[in-house]
Amino acid sequence: MTDKRAVIVCSHVAKGLHPVSVAVRDEPLDEVDSGWQIRCDLEQHGDDDLAQVWGVCEVLELEPGLAEFVEYAPGTRLTKSKATSKWVQTK
C-alpha cells in the first residue's frame, strides 16, 4: 500500500538547494497529515512560506533512509551531519 500522507518540505530541500538534514515529527492534524517536517540544516525555517507539501512516498524517494522512522511517535527528531551519514534520533 502506498502512503499518501502529507509531509512539509522546506523550500531549500524541495528545490534541491540543500540535502535533507533534519526530520521532525509533530502531532498530525488529521488522517492525511503525517506530522513530518523535512528540512535542511539552515536555521531559518520558522515561517518558510515557500515550503512545499509532498507525499511520504516522494520524501522516501529522495531520502530512503527515513523509511524506518516513518511511524515513530510525534516528538521524534532526527538529524544527520552530512548527506552520507546515518540518521540519529536526537529526541
Residue 20 grid coordinates? 535533507
Mean pLDDT by 10 residues, the chain (91 residues): 86 92 95 94 71 95 95 96 89 65
pLDDT at 45: 61
Task: Read off the pTM.
Answer: 0.89
Pairing mode of beta strands 52-55, 22-25: unpaired
pLDDT at 50: 85
**Backbone torsion region of residue 53, taken as left when φ is above 0, otherwise alpha when ψ lies between -120 and 50, otherwise beta:** beta
Pairwise CA distance, residues 48 & 20, whole Å:
15
Domain ranges of the chain: 6-73
pLDDT at 47: 63
pLDDT at 75: 96
What DSSP state is assigned to residue 73? P
pLDDT at 1: 47
